[in-house]
Amino acid sequence: MTANGPRSVLLAGGGTAGHVSPLLALADCLGRRYPGIRLTALGTAAGLEARLVPERGYPLLEVPKVPFPRRPSGDLLRLPGNLRRAVRAAEHAIDSTAAEVVVGFGGYVSTPAYLAARRHGTPVVVHEQNARPGLANRLGARVAAGVGVTFPGTALPRATVTGMPLRREISTLDRMARRAEARAHFGLAHAPTVLVTGGSLGAQRLNEAFAGAAAALSAAGVQVLHVAGTGKEFVPEGASGAPYVVLPYCDRMDLAYAAADLVVARSGANTVCELTAVGLPAVYVPLPIGNGEQRLNAAAVIAAGGGLLVDDARVSAAWVDEVVRPLALDPARLATMATASASVGERGGDELLADLVVAAAAGGR
């Protein structure tokens, strides 16, 4: 710990953008606060972090992926050995970086990081993105010096509501000021615009529904920017009117949000927090699997009137035409929803979580 802040921080998280995005946002914030701080990410070779972390300019140290099976399987028999190897790799990362704090964001990578930090006596800070915490962060919170949560009411001990750490380009976004630039960037026109995204991995249900409705949306003058997921791209047949742009992945979500009037998306915590921070109305379609956290993630913005919640089973081409198309063509309703969405948004989550990291470093020395 220096007079200005911690000298080295190890950030553990990966697998999907939901873990990687807040990790990078916190790293950026700490780097702005403390020039010269050593920031290292801990992740797997197969996760999204393997590409996104180095692209952002941070070193990535790898740990083996340790799946926690929910039912008896071969993975269950291999769990003890896999976990030991992952903990050893995490211990090596703590040693080699001289980390003063380990920050975990949940998922496969965080459990071995928490166990390694406890063995080393290194302070832990946990950030839980979802309203309902996962297994890794329930474990980490028991030994953590600080616990940040995105949503009030998240059941973790000694939790501080920090909101979601957001990338600077999102937290400072002025959608209206960037709209013309954003639409030009994606080859869109000046027309009602729907952004469709299933997250970094895509969402087959959304892809199929909008592919089936592409012609009707285009003919009605509704243009679509559709982030389909890598390997899940499609050609929007019959879209001969308003543009229908399909991307496998979008590295400029700030511009995607600036281009959009309405979003149709899963309700992962990062998605919900980004959309409310920038004040975008949305139709949220929670994943039909998991522990129900995606429905809870969207609860506050739905209650405020900033979005609609739709069950995955209802989503079809006919539903897009009956529900999404008229909503996209109703600017007065969208303006009301946008105000409501912004009313529950938090743009300073990175700074609040950084405060917990600094306090943990100070207390650990």
Quick one: which of 345, 195, 203 has its CA closest to 266?
203
200 is in an annotated binding site: yes
Angle between helices 17-33 and 269-278 (to 10 degrees): 60
For tokens 């209802």, the residue is 314
Q: How far is CA 246 from the centre of its chain?
A: 21
Which two three-digit tokens encode residue 335? 């303006």
At residue 18's C-alpha, the angle toward residues 12 and 21, to 5°, is 65
Inter-axis angle of helices 349-363 and 17-33, to 10 degrees?
Answer: 70
State whether the Cα torsion 186-188-192-198 is positive or negative.
negative
**Annotated binding residue 204:** no
On whether 364 is known to bind a ligand per the annotation, the reply is no
CA distance 250 to 266: 16
18 in a labelled binding site: yes
Residue 130 in marked binding region: yes
CA distance 340 to 358: 33
**30 near 37, Cβ under 8 Å?**
yes
Integer distance in angstroms from the first to the last C-alpha of the chain? 7
Instruction: Tell me the binding residues for UDP-N-acetyl-alpha-D-glucosamine.
Output: 16-18, 130, 167, 200, 294
Instruction: Tell me the binding residues.
Output: 16-18, 130, 167, 200, 294
